[in-house]
Structure 1
Amino acid sequence: MKGFIALALMGIATVAAADDVEVAQAQPVVEQYTYATDLDVAHVISVTPTADVCEVVPAQMIYEDHQGQRHILEYRVMGNGCSNG
């Protein structure tokens, strides 16, 4: 009985490891935004918070297009750390 349980646990661990490999391979490539980038945004999943510095910093948006494909778009934004006076 103990052998059967150990064998079952090894099988579950193998399936879980295979799922981790598929998730790692399915990670989309980070695309760099330019003014010529043709965006097809159906649903925004997340946007990184803007840093509290007074300079241009990178930010990322993860979104899905109308075909359900997930994208990571990197773009530049002005930080939130500048004073108004």
Structure 2
Amino acid sequence: MKALLVLIFGVFCAAAMADEPLPVEQYSYAQHLDIAHVISTSDVADVCAVVPVRMTYEDSKGQRHILEYHVMGNGCSNG
């Protein structure tokens, strides 16, 4: 009975730890990226300025990462 309770408690603890938010890594040009699978990217803002974007991805070891980098917004007109 005690072993069953310990097993159930262990499963709940593992599930709680899996829900921890991932730290956001800031991209730099010197950084080596190991991107095996892109899970999602945030939308680019409709402004004419440089804006942050986040990409969630898995590396070759299956670990999930969130990377923040900067792009030009979609609000600029070329006319």
User: What value does the CA root-mean-square deviation take over the aligned residues?
Assistant: 2.2
For 2:19 and 2:61, the matched residues in 1 are separated by: 21
The number of equivalent residue pairs is 71
The secondary structure found in structure 2 opposite 1:40 is coil
**Structure 1: gaps of 5 or more residues:** 1-13
Alignment partner of 1:23 is 2:13: no
Distance in 1 of aligned mates of 2:39 and 2:69: 16
Structure 2 runs not aligned, ≥5 long: 1-8
- Whether 1:53 and 2:47 are equivalent positions in the alignment is yes
TM-score normalised by length of structure 2: 0.78
Q: How many percent of aligned residue pairs carry the same amino acid? A: 60
- Which structure's residues are more often helix, by fraction? 1
Deviations 1:29-53 (A, max 9, x none): 1000010111000000000010000
Letter in structure 1 aligned against 2:18 = V
Q: C-alpha displacement at 1:79, in angstroms?
A: 0.2
**Larger Cα Rg: Structure 1 or Structure 2?**
1
Query: Which residue in the other structure is 2:65 paired with?
Result: 71
Q: How far apart in 1 are the matches of 2:35 and 2:65?
A: 9
